[in-house]
Amino acid sequence: MKTFDFRFVKEHKYLFLIAFLNFVLIYASSFVKAYGYFIDEFYYIACAARPAFGYVDHPPLAPLVLTVFQLFFGTSLLAIRILPALAASASVFLTGILAKEIGGGRFAQCLAACAAAACPVIAAMGGLYSMNIFETLLAVVLLIFAGRMIKENDPKRWIVLGIVMGLGMMNKHTFAVFILGVVFSLIVAGQWRLVFNKWFAAGSLIALLIFLPNILWQAANNYPSLEFYRNISAHKNVYTPPLAFFRDQIMWMSPFTFPVWFAGIIFLLLSKSVKSFRFLSVLFLSLFLFMMLSGTSRPDRLTFAYSAVFAGGGFFFENFIFKHNARWLKGVLLVFLYAGLALSLPLILPYFPYESVREYTRFIGMNTEQETGNKPPLPQILADRIGWEEKFKLVLNAYQSLPDSEKPKTIIAAENYGQAGALELYGKKYHFPFVASGHNTYYLWSRKKLESGGGFKILLQLGHERE
């Protein structure tokens, strides 16, 4: 039997170290007792308990992964947080590999990986279970294989790219924007021969076949996701003017990572040494402009494109240091990046007390309004982890106060999927009745249950809007 080849590990030991430290930093935050599940995590657990090929507000990949995972490890906070922390750390590691693919040496790889690790949004997404961090991971995987296709001038790589594209679409519908950006940038950057061929058609067909189950589910349920996207565009997303979008990108991705990704844009766009990989800069710029001009894109929506320019920035600074014999700059850059991460840490991971985070948020003047009408005193990624068990106990007391004769005919209604998911999860050991809601896929689940009849009594008022 062939023994494991440790040469890859040895060659990339620094990237493994950076990724490992990133995992420890993110995952350890789940041990802080003051914070609990994030609102979306309740919903993903509920979706995982009802496996399907689609849900109102997202495709099925992330819930189905959790369906399998929880069969072995359960749904505790510490269990489900392993996967996103691993995905974030894998994204960090592969950003370094992407820098290698375009020609960067060891320092370029490490700087690119450290820039990704120091990016507050990547760390924040890695700290909770959702589809978002898997989108970032699949995006960098797609870029690596696209880069290898260019290096080897091998359009057959579209077969693998098709698999990644299909998985990306099954994870998040907006991954289609990234796919279109990649194809567009390859054509604009002069790699059109790798696009207009039978292998691209074959890869596209593979992606379509992987995504087909969700299309069929959408058709069977009257395309609820289209309604969902119309509603959030019209009523939920905050309008962001172009200049504010540019400012938010610098702030959300950390001003300390800005020199790396901005240098990456210019270097990949203008340097002859990486002419073959110009598509990475074109990709980032096209997606940046598209989201900026749309006016309704949240600052975190562009995260999946940053690995491209982090890799380019790492390569630029490596060349700069070599050319100017400025080895001292290596340590300065790495310390600079992690200093930025340290300053953003209270806002992205639940390490600090509520009052301290609130005062820090107020001190730096952070705008916490990501959704229209919702401006919590803490960043939403932390605020939505607080108070769930207390809310559950209020409902539990109300339910237990009912006469035993009424309990079998009772359903518990919730305003949104977070409340519904929390009631379901915490209510398991109390044999809670069916929890209904009009929010997202709970609308479909609740309608099916209510249409089945049974003379239910509503304990709380049921919302009817599907948002």
Two tokens, residue 146: 């696209």
How many distinct structural domains can be found in the chain? 3
pLDDT band at 298 (very low <50, low <70, confident <90, very high): confident
Looking at residue 451, its pLDDT comes to 73
Residues 314, 366 within the same domain: no
Residues 26, 166 within the same domain: yes
Residues 337, 215 within the same domain: yes
Residues 365, 414 within the same domain: no
pLDDT tens-digit map of 18-59 = 999 999 999 999 999 889 999 999 999 999 999 999 999 999
Looking at residue 1, its pLDDT comes to 45
Is there a domain that residue 2 lies in?
A: no
The count of C-alpha atoms lying within 13 angstroms of the C-alpha of 420, restricted to the half-sphere facing its C-beta, is: 26
Residue 466 in this model has a pLDDT that exceeds 60: no
Average of per-residue pLDDT values in the chain? 91
Residues 193, 135 within the same domain: yes
Higher pLDDT, 169 or 300: 169
Which residues, 6 or more positions from 441, have their beta carbon under 8 angstroms from its beta carbon?
47, 55, 56, 57, 224, 417
Query: Which residue, among 376, 382, 298, 385, has the nearest Cα to 41 in the 3D structure?
Result: 385
pLDDT tens-digit map of 191-220 = 999 999 999 999 999 999 999 999 999 999
pLDDT tens-digit map of 253-264 = 999 999 999 999
Looking at residue 406, its pLDDT comes to 84
Residues 235, 263 within the same domain: yes
Return the CA Rg of the chain: 23
Residues 299, 408 within the same domain: no
pLDDT band at 458 (very low <50, low <70, confident <90, very high): low
pLDDT tens-digit map of 232-257 = 766 666 678 889 899 999 999 999 99
Residue 268 in this model has a pLDDT that exceeds 90: yes
Question: Which structural domain range is residue 262 located in?
Answer: 7-35+81-348
β-bridge mates for residue 55, sequence order: 58
Residues 277, 137 within the same domain: yes
Phi/psi at 411 (5° precision): -115, 155
- CA-to-CA distance for 287 and 278, rounded, in angstroms? 14
Percent of the chain, pLDDT > 90?
A: 76
Residue 452 in this model has a pLDDT that exceeds 80: no
Residues 281, 401 within the same domain: no
Looking at residue 374, its pLDDT comes to 62
Residues 394, 379 within the same domain: no
Looking at residue 434, its pLDDT comes to 86
pLDDT band at 463 (very low <50, low <70, confident <90, very high): very low
Average pLDDT on 355-382 reads 79
Is there a domain that residue 106 lies in?
A: yes
Looking at residue 404, its pLDDT comes to 85
pLDDT tens-digit map of 389-408 = 999 999 999 888 888 888 88
Residue 294 in this model has a pLDDT that exceeds 60: yes
Looking at residue 402, its pLDDT comes to 86
Is there a domain that residue 279 lies in?
A: yes
Looking at residue 462, its pLDDT comes to 36
Average pLDDT on 292-318 reads 92
Listed as own residue / partner, the contacts of 401-406 with beta carbons closer than 8 Å and 24 or more positions apart are 402/459, 406/457
Residues 363, 297 within the same domain: no
Looking at residue 467, its pLDDT comes to 32
Residues 257, 378 within the same domain: no
Residue 311 in this model has a pLDDT that exceeds 60: yes
pLDDT tens-digit map of 320-329 = 999 999 999 9
Is there a domain that residue 41 lies in?
A: no
pTM (2 d.p.)? 0.93
Looking at residue 372, its pLDDT comes to 57
Is there a domain that residue 271 lies in?
A: yes
Is there a domain that residue 134 lies in?
A: yes
User: Residues 142, 165: contact at Cβ < 8 Å?
Assistant: yes
Is there a domain that residue 172 lies in?
A: yes
Is there a domain that residue 53 lies in?
A: no
Strands 435-437 and 457-458: unpaired
